[in-house]
Amino acid sequence: MEDHRQDIDTDVIQLADLPLHLLLTMEDTVLGHSLRRVAEEAMAGAGSDAVSAFNSSI
C-alpha cells in the first residue's frame, strides 16, 4: 500500500463561486469527472446514502 503524504487534487472542481449561468451552459467535457462522480453517486440509490446513527451512553 502506497503512503500518501502529498497534496491532493480532489475529484471535485471549484464551483462554489462560479456564476450559475456559466455552470448551466458549460460543456460536460469541462465539468468532466466531477459531474460524473456526483451524478453517479446520486444515482446509485439509497444504498450509497450513508446515514450514521448514535445512541449516546449518557
Say if residues 11 and 33 touch (Cβ distance below 8 Å): yes
Nearest approach in angstroms of CB 29 to another protein is 5
Nearest approach in angstroms of CB 33 to another protein is 5
Q: Which residues bind another protein (CB under 8 A)?
A: 1-21, 23-24, 26, 28-36, 38-40, 42-43, 45, 48-58
Nearest approach in angstroms of CB 22 to another protein is 9
CA dihedral 43, 46, 50, 53 (to 10 degrees): 160
